[in-house]
Amino acid sequence: MQYLNEIKNKHITVLGLGVTGLGIVRFLLSQSIQPYVVDSRENPPGVDWLNQHAPQLNTHFGDLENAALSACDMIIISPGLSLKTPAIVKAINAGVEVIGDVELFARINSKPVVAVTGSNGKSTVVTLAYEVLKTAGYKVALGGNIGTAVLDLLDGDFDVFVLELSSFQLDTTRSLKTTSATVLNISEDHLDRYDSYQAYIDSKLSIYNGAEHLVINADDKQTHPVSRTLAPQLSFGETQGNYHLAQHNNEAHFMVKDEAYLPVSALAVVGKHNYLNTLAVMALLSPFAITKAHYKTALAQFNGLAHRCQFVGEFNGVKYFNDSKATNVGATVAAIDSLAGKHENLVVIAGGDAKGADLEVLKPYIEKHVKALICFGKDAKDLVALSAKGHLTNNMSEAVTLAKQLSKSGDTVLLAPACASIDMYNNYMQRGDDFVQCVLQGLS
C-alpha cells in the first residue's frame, strides 16, 4: 500500500457521511490518516459512529459553501454527491483532486478485478459471478454498489474482487485495472443527474478503460466501446455473440462459441433476462479456471435476488412477481419481455419518480403484453396517459387491491415500477416489501 504513504501528509477531506463515506473514514483511520469530514446535512447518518469512534476528527456539517473545500489537497467524495455541486466545482477549479472510494481502491489494489456496470441486471450478474468463482475454489470478495463498500474489502485475503459499479462511482474513477469488465445494457436513467443521455452512456463506457478483457452486449450497440481498443472482446446476446442462446436437442441451451455448453434448465431461476445474465457471467469469467461442473453446481443453487423478478406466490391461479428493483424504463421492459413469454396476461403495477426518463418507450410493450397498467406515485399520471389500459391509484395498497380485482386465473401481476421509489419510500427494497405485504394480506 505504497500509495497510502504518499498521501499520509496530505490534507484529505471525506465528503459525505453515508454508508460509503463512513467506509472511507474507517479505512483512512485504519491507515493512520486523519481526514476532515464534511456533509451537507446538519445531522448525517454516520455522525453517531464518528462521535463514538473518532471524536478527534475535524468536521463540518451543513452548507458546503462554508466547508473550505478549496483549502484541502484531495476530496474523496461519496457517489450520491454530484460533481456539479457549486462548492465541489469551486474546489476542482482551485486544483483540488476529487476522487471516489473506488478510485482509492484502484490505486491500492493489485489483485484481479471483475467489474460490472449497466442500467439493469448488475446485482444479479455480480452475485452469480461471485457464486461461480467461490464454487471454483477462489477466495472472492463481492462489493461496490452492492453490499460492502470497496475499501472495506481490502483487509481480507482475496484472490479476486467482483465489483458492481454505478455510473456515479465511475464518474470519480480513473485508474481501475480489471481482468474483465462489462456494460450489460444501457437505457435511460439518472437523467436528473446528467446533462444528456449521451453523458450517461459515456459514464458507463468508462468502465472499459484499463480492462484486459471487454465483454459487450451484442444486442445493445450502446454498450460497445467508442474508441478502438487492442484488448480482447467477447460478446453475449440472445441469438448472437460468442455467448448466446440456441436450441439443441429440442431444448434451449447456453451456447459458448457455438458449443451447446449447458441447458438453460441448469439455472434454478427462469426468464430470458436471467439467461442473458448467465451468458454475461460466463463471458466475464472466461479468463478464470472454471469448469462445466463448477457452473452446474453454482447455477443449480442460484435462486436469484430479492426484488428482482422475485416470485412472491400464486393465489387463486394468479402469479405475483416483485421486481421493485426495476427503477427505470429499461428494467421494466426487460421484466415484461421476460414474463410475457410464459404469461400472456400481465397486470403491471408501476409508478414513482421517473427522473425525467422517456416513458413512451413502454408503449409497445404495454399494448402487446399488458392487460392492465395500474399506477401510483409522482409520475403516475404520465404512465396512465400511455395507454387506455391505464388505471390511477393513490398507493400500493390500492394498486394491489385493484390488481386482484382485474386479474383472473392464469394471469400474472407484476410490480415493475419503471421509476425510482424516493417519492414515497426510503428505497426500492421498502417498496418491494410493501408490495409483498399487500399481496399476502388476506391471501396467505
Catalytic residue among 109, 120, 145, 345: 145
145 is catalytic: yes
408 is catalytic: no
Catalytic residue among 120, 122, 204, 253: 122
Catalytic residue among 109, 120, 185, 190: 190
For helices 428-440 and 396-406, angle between their N-to-C axes, nearest 10 degrees:
50
Q: How many whole angstroms from its chain centre is CA 75?
A: 25
5 is catalytic: no
SS3 assignment for the chain = CHHHHHHCCCCEEEECCCHHHHHHHHHHHHCCCCCEEEECCCCCCCHHHHHHHCCCCCEEECCHHHCCHHHCCEEEECCCCCCCCHHHHHHHHCCCEEEEHHHHHHHHCCCCEEEEECCCCHHHHHHHHHHHHHHCCCCEEEEECCCCCHHHHCCCCCCEEEEECCHHHHCCCCCCCEEEEEECCCCCCCCCCCCCHHHHHHHHHHHHCCEEEEEEECCCHHHCCCCCCCCCEEEECCCCCCEEEEEECCEEEEEECCEEEEEHHHCCCCCHHHHHHHHHHHHHCCCCCCCHHHHHHHHHHCCCCCCCCEEEEEECCEEEEECCCCCCHHHHHHHHHHHHCCCCCEEEEECCECCCCCHHHHHHHHHHHEEEEEECCCCHHHHHCCCCCEEECCCHHHHHHHHHHHCCCCCEEEECCCCECCCCCCCHHHHHHHHHHHHHCCCC
Among the listed residues 376, 380, 379, 416, the one whose alpha carbon sits nearest the alpha carbon of residue 396: 376
Catalytic annotation, residues: 122, 145, 190
